[in-house]
A and B are shown apart, each in its own frame.
Chain A
């Protein structure tokens, strides 16, 4: 009986959603291990009072833990404060000013991504003042550079600026677009830099410097001349860039896109298929973005180990072989010095027969070499096959060669 109450208490207790176990006193009192738990609860409660405090966002009293930002508290409670420059896992920079909220008693609006929650803080996340500021900020971004061509923009449908414009009904018509200031850079096989789309949110800088720690790019120049630059403002190919594409994945608009982005289906037209990268043993988790049975883009799966969204140049850009004409599509059998096409059945039969003949006679006459490019599971199967089917311990791996 009491445990159903307990479960419902858990469901209604806002703290339960945070995985914090606080039992209502009424329940606690008839639990069998009452005394010890009572003491424990008191202790937790004491700690909570010490560590957890509460604040008010949009009229809701919400608890927070020391160090949480307003944004984190809001998100945890399904209050949708829009962000643009905020990059998970990197130091908040407070650059875009989209996430501003009204904090009672503060002189100016505050960026929720940078300001820590404090006890008794009263926050309005969508007050008229906030909306006015967000609309102006979005308007200013939309009229910086060129965003009047969403229709032919590779990021359309997958663009945070576009989403914000829709959410706040901003058209980018108040000011004359400032146009193209720096020419596009396409002098490398992987990344297209279109500065006229750049809203200088700095996510790429955070991604490169704090996530990948490649330190290839940073803010350069001042004021309206500002630009994301490599050291000495050289082309990416002449810089410290290793083309990992972390910045491309972080870019919320079309300022950093894959080289061929204008020629292939847009991200928003594709379907994501989650898989494991087949290039190396790290086993990065990735999304293949597929349309018409063809892979057009690859992105890292965020929030899963081991890569948490990051990929390297091979995993992210090395996929044209999938649709290559030169790729083998059927097994080939070599007869009299020449290959001929064969069916899978025929090829497998032949292989099995020859294994039996050779390994059956002298087990150690065969050896199995596996690869760093296959998954752990596949490597496991290969060694199992070698030892139990072929009955040999001649099993090795390319990395030892």
Chain B
């Protein structure tokens, strides 16, 4: 490897790409060239670092200085001051949201310091397109051990000891799944990786694939040995072009090194992996639909049993695991199940990756130990809610999940604990909502998504979600009636209880969970024709509270519709016939006098 004195780990993930990492890279390259520093200082393009919100980001190693929001214009100063004179540039350090304190060192930034990296251990640390860098960090050592020193039973036992549960949503014990497929008879078996990632707002799997593609290949190879499969498929959504390209490079390199293909590492074991590009239907993430899709048929779920471990792809025994699940496998085999199980709670071991998004300061990808309180995830790692607003709830598990409100923020990250409050761990989507979010509208949003994505095969899901959406739309439109609450409840229960696949069975979760915690909002919409969060356009009626109005006139200046009557030293008045509900006055009034 290079003998450079300094390595610049520049993020080239999709997020930083979007914020301009490429232009920065070019400028940096040119400057290093100009100064003749290219031998001393190496730029390493890494996959997503996780902190996309402040991208483009770069980590200077070995010092561990973290720079954020880089632009091409910053290059001369960086090179001159830091790289040549050894004086890091505070202007580009991370700034703590509350204290405004500037933190130079990556290990001191709460976003990073509260995390534990296992599935993402190589993120930002290696060049994903160079297999040697992966190997240098113990890559393929797990596979070597599994293939040459362990029996299938031993691998499965190790997985069972680790307590790893499927990270794709349902949390089924991975070792158990493998055990079923192992005991299932058949000369041909398949190992599938689910990289469909259809949950809106989630990008955990994409990041892992982009930053560490080899870990998936290694994990799948170990799984193949465990169940005795010779062929694997990675089902990846077509939109993930960068991930697909890196996977292709990784597969080619692994084959060249004899780490994939025939007689892997001289063990006599054969295993090959192919990438299958999915067209991006949410339902194709469901296991039976995914298998049909690989078979070239319409991606529609089929009833289980028979379970894929007995009859999966082409009716052969098959296991399907999520990207993050596979990413944990090599380390479990290398370091042992006990090691993996050393962190976490009784029934949820290891770590979980979350994609923090919504109304939160540190939008990004984080990996946290199981058992961490959700509050720590939101406030310490996530940096809290922007604009000094109040936290309202966090939606876990995307459209199939539920929300965790303020009063349950101390719930631990644990499959069962989260389920107790009506949400699900899900695949790791965590959408934070502040007090300006209308929960009825939020439920409506997810139902809109789901009813579009329903495959249309079974009645409760196809027709039920349509009716649920219809009712939610009516409520948001100010046309809700008392009977709607009962109808919603009935519909939700039947779709959950009688749908064919997980999509329909979980479709009502956002509605059930918002009804559980925010019934007052539903009631305000229906009975008072009022949207407390001021989101539902049809229900907005703005008035000025004469007591609170300080007669400043800021609302008058903000109104684009001439709807506000105001004269100096007089209380403002809103002409509701002219008001277009744009909320400008509501936002502008410094005294909260407009409601």
Contacts and interface: CB of A to CB of B under 8 A. Distances in A.
B470 interface: yes
Contact of B460 (A93, A137, A221, A224): A137
B211 interface: no
Q: Is the interface of B mostly helix, strand, loop or mixed?
A: helix
B122 interface: no
B52 interface: no
Interface string A209-246: 00000000011011111100000000000000000000
Nearest to B300: A219
A277 interface: no
A97 B470 contact: no
A225 B281 CA distance: 15
A108 B455 contact: no
Interface string A287-308: 0000000000000000000000
A306 to B, nearest CB: 29
B372 interface: no
A252 interface: no
A195 to B, nearest CB: 13
B459 A108 contact: no
A251 interface: no
B321 interface: no
Contacts of B505: 108
Interface in A101-143: 108-109, 111, 114-116, 129, 132-133, 136-137, 140-141, 143
B448 to A, nearest CB: 10
Contacts of A94: 302-303, 458, 500
B494 to A, nearest CB: 4
A204 interface: no
A219 B457 contact: yes
Contacts of A98: 459
Nearest to A142: B463
B380 interface: no
B118 to A, nearest CB: 30
A219 B459 contact: no
A175 interface: yes
A309 interface: no
A304 B456 CA distance: 34
B298 A224 contact: no
A96 B459 contact: yes
Contact of B464 (A95, A116, A140): A140
Contacts of A199: 459
Interface string A35-60: 00000000000000000000000000
Contacts of A111: 303, 500
A265 B458 CA distance: 33
A219 B460 contact: no
B452 interface: yes
B496 interface: yes
A202 B463 CA distance: 15
A109 B505 CA distance: 11
Nearest to A224: B466
A384 B528 CA distance: 91
A199 B458 CA distance: 10
Interface in A128-167: 129, 132-133, 136-137, 140-141, 143-144
A223 B298 CA distance: 14
Contacts of B467: 140, 143, 175
Nearest to B494: A136
A97 B500 contact: yes
A254 interface: no
Interface string B439-474: 000000000000111111111101111110010000
Contacts of B491: 136
Nearest to B471: A175
Nearest to B463: A140
Interface string A268-301: 0000000000000000000000000000000000
A143 B455 CA distance: 19
A218 B298 contact: yes
Contact of A95 (B454, B490, B500): B500
A142 to B, nearest CB: 10
Nearest to A141: B459
Nearest to A91: B302
A223 B466 contact: yes
B584 interface: no
Contacts of B452: 222-223
B113 interface: no
Interface of A: 92-98, 100, 108-109, 111, 114-116, 129, 132-133, 136-137, 140-141, 143-144, 174-175, 178, 199-200, 202, 218-219, 221-226
Interface of B: 281, 283, 298, 300, 302-303, 305, 451-460, 462-467, 470, 487, 490-491, 493-494, 496-500, 505
Given A96-B458, A97-B459, 17 more contacts: A95-B459, A97-B499, A97-B500, A114-B303, A115-B303, A136-B494, A140-B460, A140-B463, A140-B467, A178-B466, A219-B298, A219-B456, A219-B457, A221-B456, A222-B283, A224-B451, A225-B456
26 contacts: A93-B302, A93-B303, A93-B457, A95-B457, A95-B458, A97-B460, A97-B498, A108-B498, A108-B499, A108-B505, A109-B497, A114-B303, A116-B305, A137-B459, A140-B459, A141-B463, A143-B463, A178-B466, A200-B456, A200-B459, A222-B281, A222-B455, A223-B462, A224-B462, A226-B455, A226-B456
